[in-house]
């Protein structure tokens, strides 16, 4: 179990994204560079055998598969495509999140709490869609997880050599850093990957040329003859493999389906045996593990995918599975439980001018500005923009209110197309497009400013994942129970109070309008379209109400297959042989200020450990 900081501890983060990448490699060029990566329909073999089958080519799956391929034959199955083109460009940062088509690398879902979220559907997973922040887990977290500290550090270094850069610190972020120090978030730790008390500059997966690096880059370290990566592999349906052994057969990534046979007589547990998937042309492929107890299926499908896959395969709460007509293989009531998302609250600070701290209150605060959060700030970029970052009517729920200290810039805003006046059923794609067109006509000063984002530690509150249906392509129902526990709410309030001190600091004075009070900034931000929750519109909104009203995600959800509940300390699934889960679904708490570093580290870490186990007599 990960440690908790004392109630008096808080963490504040501000960091930088890289600059715009003007040239991105094409899909064909990437395929030529990685010859073992191919589309599923180009996979000629209808039946094949591997030492390891890794399901999910995401933040954990890519480093895991690359590491295992050094001495074994590995198949990596990914439901999406390649992470190139606009995903590499900072200026197009939110385009993927705004894309709701079936081909989008970001599959949108809305939690039962009413918060808009997304899950990755692309090789490289969330590292292709996130803001690029990189920071390690704390020493206490590593110790509580029972990990080998030396191997953890070498695995982090392996990740950092491939992906991570030291960011520049533009004026807005420099002012935020100085404001955090002035607000008491001390000491100044400078640049470091480590999780330390005080203010620091963390790493970024955007390089100095502005190119995003993703977990897919780890595949360049793979042994080409040891790895096969298949893209766009989809479900084959409810197929039961016939074999003397008990079988749990899995399909690729988003295409999870239930494929089970009864436990063979004399076998103590069911045994993971292979995978069935269909390529985009509908051709079925069967992939088996080679003989031997050390050959394994490994789920790295993420917080939503891995528990969903287990349940659709008959491993989960018996009553829930039976209610959906799923044959129960293992009654495991903890599958899908303990799912949590670190709630985030944002404040937009309009600025007349076009970093990480760990305080003492249990919240993290991240700062981004201008186009660094996908907001097109130049005239040309805005005319061509597909989305408007956190301003986007496409990215967040369409209930936008125009606000800015320079009211004459936005006083007409959307006019008759103001989405905030439309009933939900009238908020059509056409209405969203009209809103985006109206935003393109706004003066660029309306987009000038920055966000300060607050995310709490932990969290303590948690929820669950349940099946909506047996359709393996459908998102499951997800409940996070944001701020259910008072400790989480207290941490949010303390984080908001830190942001107030930052806004009022001398260091930040040049980046705020003189006529914009703290109260007006928070009042305007409270009406920003960040979720589907009802607003409490009044002038006496408390910090507690602000936290609840403006809750959103920073995509740090985790849990559902937690260590000690669903998997053991070596990430083997209880009750099923030759099956592991290695991804963020095994975490009880989110590590560090941003989890992607630790998820990637875990892929490398477990790859090294599994290799060592394989050759140990």
Neighbours of 423 (CB within 10 A): 6
3-state percent breakdown (helix, strand, coil) of the chain, nearest 5 = 30, 20, 50
Residue ranges for the known binding site for FAD are: 122, 555-556, 595-596
Question: Residue 114 to residues 110, 462, 532, 553: CA-CA distances in angstroms?
Answer: 6, 15, 5, 11
Question: Of 404, 464, 556, 558, which one is the catalytic site residue?
Answer: 556
Cβ–Cβ < 8 Å for 76, 230: yes
Neighbours of 617 (CB within 10 A): 2
Residue ranges for the known binding site are: 122, 555-556, 595-596
92 catalytically annotated: no
Q: Which two tokens stand for residue 503?
A: 């806004």
- Residue 117 pairs with which residues in a beta bridge? 109
E strands present in 467-602: 477-479, 579-581
Q: How far apart are CA 312 and CA 236, in angstroms?
A: 13
Q: How far apart are CA 160 and CA 210, in angstroms?
A: 17
3-state secondary structure of 478: strand
3-state secondary structure of 233: coil
Q: Which two tokens stand for residue 435?
A: 């809103």
Cβ–Cβ < 8 Å for 277, 287: yes
Question: Please, what is the angle between helix 171-182 and helix 486-503, to 10°?
Answer: 110
Report DSSP state, residue 590.
Answer: -
Cβ–Cβ < 8 Å for 199, 12: yes
In what helix (H) or strand (E) does residue 144 lie, and over which residues does it extend? helix 139-145
Cβ–Cβ < 8 Å for 12, 363: yes
3-state secondary structure of 340: strand
Q: In this structure, what are the phi and psi dihedrals at residue 323, rounded to the nearest 5 degrees?
A: -65, -25
Neighbours of 383 (CB within 10 A): 10
3-state secondary structure of 297: strand
Question: Please, what is the angle between helix 149-163 and helix 596-615, to 10°?
Answer: 120
Q: How far apart are CA 235 and CA 217, in angstroms?
A: 26
Neighbours of 441 (CB within 10 A): 10
Question: Residue 289 to residues 44, 222, 233, 310, 579: CA-CA distances in angstroms?
Answer: 18, 20, 18, 18, 11
E strands present in 254-295: 272-278, 284-289
Cβ–Cβ < 8 Å for 553, 341: yes
Question: Please, what is the angle between helix 61-68 and helix 596-615, to 10°?
Answer: 30
Question: Looking at the annotation, which residues are catalytic?
Answer: 556
């Amino acid at each position: 179990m990960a440690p908790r900081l004392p109630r008096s501890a808080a963490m504040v983060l501000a960091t930088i994204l890289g600059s715009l990448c003007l040239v991105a490699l094409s899909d064909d060029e990437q395929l030529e560079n990685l010859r073992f990566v191919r589309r599923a329909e180009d996979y000629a073999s209808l039946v094949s055998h591997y030492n390891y089958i890794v399901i999910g080519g995401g933040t954990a799956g890519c480093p895991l598969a690359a590491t295992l391929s050094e001495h074994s034959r590995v198949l990596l199955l990914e439901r999406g495509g390649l992470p190139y083109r606009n995903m590499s460009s900072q200026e197009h940062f939110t385009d993927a999140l705004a894309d709701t088509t079936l081909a989008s690398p970001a599959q949108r879902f809305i939690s039962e709490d009413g918060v808009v979220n997304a899950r990755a559907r692309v090789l490289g997973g969330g590292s292709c869609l996130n803001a690029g922040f990189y920071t390690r887990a704390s020493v206490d977290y590593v110790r509580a997880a029972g990990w080998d500290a030396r191997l953890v550090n070498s695995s982090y270094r392996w990740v950092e050599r491939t992906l991570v850069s030291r960011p520049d610190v533009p004026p807005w972020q420099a002012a935020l850093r100085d404001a955090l120090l002035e607000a008491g978030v001390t000491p100044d730790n400078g640049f470091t990957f480590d999780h330390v008390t005080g203010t620091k500059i963390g790493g970024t997966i955007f390089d100095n040329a502005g190119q995003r690096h993703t977990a897919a880059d780890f595949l360049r370290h793979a042994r080409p003859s040891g790895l096969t990566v298949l893209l766009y592999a989809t479900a084959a349906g409810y197929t039961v493999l016939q074999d003397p052994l008990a079988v749990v057969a899995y399909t690729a990534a988003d295409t999870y389906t239930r494929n089970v046979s009864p436990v063979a007589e004399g076998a103590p547990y069911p045994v993971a045996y292979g995978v069935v998937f269909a390529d985009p042309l509908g051709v079925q492929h069967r992939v088996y593990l080679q003989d031997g107890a050390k050959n394994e299926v490994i789920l790295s499908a993420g917080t939503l995918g891995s528990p969903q896959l287990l349940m659709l395969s008959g491993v989960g709460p018996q009553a829930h599975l039976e209610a959906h007509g799923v044959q129960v293989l293992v009654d495991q009531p903890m599958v899908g439980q303990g799912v949590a998302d670190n709630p985030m609250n944002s404040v937009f600070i309009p600025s007349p001018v076009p970093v990480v701290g760990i305080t003492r209150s249990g919240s993290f605060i991240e700062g981004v500005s201008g186009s660094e959060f996908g907001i097109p700030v130049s005239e040309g970029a805005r005319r061509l923009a597909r989305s408007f970052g956190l301003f986007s009517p496409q990215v967040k729920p369409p209930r936008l209110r125009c606000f800015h200290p320079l009211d004459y810039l936005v006083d007409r805003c959307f006019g008759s197309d103001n989405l905030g006046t439309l009933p939900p059923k009238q908020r059509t794609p056409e209405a969203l497009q009209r809103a985006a067109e109206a935003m393109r006509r706004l003066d660029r000063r309306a987009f000038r400013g920055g966000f300060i984002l607050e995310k709490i530690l932990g969290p303590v509150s948690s929820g669950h994942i349940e099946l909506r249906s047996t359709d393996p392509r459908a998102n499951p129902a997800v409940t996070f129970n944001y701020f259910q526990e008072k400790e989480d709410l207290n941490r949010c309030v303390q984080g908001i109070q830190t942001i107030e001190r930052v806004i009022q600091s001398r260091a930040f004075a040049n980046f705020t309008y003189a006529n914009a009070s703290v109260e007006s900034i928070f009042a305007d931000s409270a009406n920003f379209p960040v979720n589907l929750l009802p607003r409490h519109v009044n002038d006496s909104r408390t910090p507690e109400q602000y936290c609840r009203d403006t809750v959103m995600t920073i995509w740090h959800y985790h849990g559902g297959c937690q260590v000690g509940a669903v998997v053991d300390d070596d990430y083997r699934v209880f009750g099923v042989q030759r099956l592991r889960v290695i991804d963020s679904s095994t975490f009880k708490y989110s590590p560090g200020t941003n989890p992607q570093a630790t998820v990637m580290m875990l892929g490398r870490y477990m790859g090294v450990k599994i290799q060592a186990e394989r050759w140990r007599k």
